[in-house]
Structure 1
Amino acid sequence: MALHPSLEVAVVMRRAKVQGPQSRWQTWRWAPEEVVPHEPAFGTEPRVLRQSQDEARWLFPALRVELFRDDAEGYHLNLDSPAPCWFVLWRLDEAPQADGEPLARPVAVSLSYHDAGRWLDAQESVDQLPADPVVVQWLQAFVNQHYQPEPRRRRRPQSFQALTDRFGNPASVSTFKKRDGS
């Protein structure tokens, strides 16, 4: 029995030839195209699905997506968005392929806004893809069971907050009049 609810997925990555002036700096552009349920026929190794002079599609199978109770808020934020989605973290391989170009490889797939935020903060390549309605229902059931919104805290009235000057130093207010010479 698994400790965490999980899904096995496969990611289809698309490599397209860059057109126009940008092609001077970058010959190819990689992006995830689709997240699909993993099937045993996919195997475990990446493979080319289609290749031409202008584009290629690669299948990267057997990526596990796990749900964790302590990240229920991240899943809730995803479901609360206008279009719930997958977040795909991918990196370019260090070694080039036979054609001299590096392969873009998905490293992780998540349904959590928190995961995506951490990955983006770390300067990783992260893309969004729409989540299938069946996956959204599965995620919603998990969130309904485990998400508890934090209770709102009462805001302290302004009159009870400490006074500071514009530089953040403690300030004081006096009701006494200053007299000349005293």
Structure 2
Amino acid sequence: MRRMTEQPVSSVRPQVRVAVLMRREPVQGAMARWQPWRWVLADVVPHEAGFGSEPRCLRQSDHEALWLYPNWTVELFPDDAQGYWLNASSPTPCYFVMWRHIDADDGGDPVAVPQAVSLSYHDAGRWLDAQEMVENVAAPADVVQWLHGFAAEHFVPEVKKRQRPQSFQRLTDRFGQPASVSTESKRKGGGRAP
């Protein structure tokens, strides 16, 4: 979930290290008049030592670019077990990546830079509520199994309490004042005879 560059060797939280791939691609159709390209999340892959620790462009042309952002640590926290359970039990469990457009150092076009990676629905929801750019990509089977095991161990569903029937509650109007209900029909026209 958090970008960790200096992490102690012995961490008590379960974690996996990943690398994020962001791709710039051309926009097709009428939208291309206003925006010739867009950034999308290409993939989240297991981190390898050969990736190094610094972001770099793997491929670039006039219409396409592929950037590698290595060395992201995705940790699992017991207090967010419900968020992991929601992800693990969904039809397509996935990684969630929050990213932002950052101006390039050379004054060129902005580059998409990941800010956080998570496996929790709750994290993704908070980021979306904050109007951040959030995309997802399917997690591999071994990560899903690991996530499901963690969620099963730490998530305890809340017991639903019986709600008091609505018929036993006092009636109030929209201002909180007592209200009454009448079964008599009201006369139309003020009750005067013609």
Identify the match of residue 3 of structure 1 among 12, 21, 26.
Answer: 12
1:3: how far off? Answer: 2.5
- Could you tell me which amino acid in structure 1 is paired with residue 92 of structure 2? A
Residue type at the aligned position of 2:147: L
3-state SS, counterpart of residue 111 of structure 2: strand
> Equivalents in 2 of 1:3, 1:174: separation in Å?
61
Q: Which residue of 2 aligns with 1:170?
A: 177
TM-score, normalization by structure 1? 0.89
What TM-score do the two structures reach when normalised by structure 2?
A: 0.84
SS in 1 for 2:18: strand
2:168 to 139, 153, 160: 160
| Amino acid aligned to 1:91 | R
Q: SS of the residue aligned with 2:153?
A: helix
Q: What are the Cα deviations for residues 73-108 of structure 1, in whole angstroms up to 9, with x where unaligned?
A: 001111121111110000011x33547211100111
Alignment partner, residue 52 of structure 2: 43
**Displacement, 1:171?**
1.5
Identity across aligned pairs (percent)?
55
Which structure: greater strand fraction?
1
1:140 aligns with 2:140: no
Is 2:127 aligned against 1:119? yes
Match of 1:74 among 64, 73, 83: 83
In structure 2, runs of 5+ residues without a counterpart are 1-9, 183-194
Query: Is the CA contact (8 Å cut-off) linking 2:101 and 2:112 kept in structure 1?
Result: yes
Runs of 4+ in 1 over 3 A off after TM superposition: 172-175
1:51-85 deviations in Å (ceiling 9; x for gaps): 22221111000111110001000011111211111
1:25 CA displacement:
2.1
Among 100, 105, 111, the alignment partner of 2:108 is: 100
In 2: Cα distance, 1:172 partner to 1:19 partner = 59
- How many Å separate the matches in 2 of 1:38 and 1:174? 67
The two structures, once aligned, show a CA RMSD in angstroms of 1.7
3-state SS of paired residue (1:72)? helix
Q: Which moved more, 1:24-33 or 1:64-73?
A: 24-33
